[in-house]
Amino acid sequence: MKPTRTDGIDPAARSRARRRALQAVYAWQVSGTAIPQVIQQFQHEQDMEVADVEYFEALVKGVAEHRADLDAKLAAFLDRPVEQVDPIERAVLRIATFELLHRLDVPFRVVLNEAIETAKRFGADHGHTYVNGVLDRAAADWRPAETGAARR
């Protein structure tokens, strides 16, 4: 039996939305295609039927809308300019940064775990370790009360 949540959020559907958002953000980064067209392309994918489409759109639009601010905030935790980060890891980091800064309803541990798992699935062999290191430090800075309580 599938576990249910009282808040109506389906974690599996959210995970699928994040994976599709990663692919959409990556496509946007590489092609420069306008976000509405990127979203439209991905909405017709088969697994979008079981993804949280609303969350997918919120992530993709949020990353595009706040890209400059997300990149500026990420820069403090990177060992190189954001544009030199592998495109998959860059997309993962941008999505997670958006969630950490703009989706305070999502616990930081969920954001980090989803980002690491997505980087493992789609990124370079050790890209997930880079993502983990960056996001761990960033989360401690951006959500100190939440991360501090979790580390006690």
- Which pair of structure tokens corresponds to residue 98? 């958006």
User: How far is the C-alpha of 60 from the C-alpha of 39, rounded, in Å?
Assistant: 8
* pLDDT for residue 147: 84
* pLDDT for residue 151: 61
User: How far is the C-alpha of 54 from the C-alpha of 14, rounded, in Å?
Assistant: 9
Quote the pTM value.
0.91
Q: Which CATH number fits domain 11-151: 3.40.250.10, 1.10.8.60, 1.10.150.120, 1.10.940.10?
A: 1.10.940.10
Phi, psi of 96 (to 5 degrees): -65, -40
CB atoms within 10 A of CB 151: 7
- The mean of the pLDDT values for the chain is 90
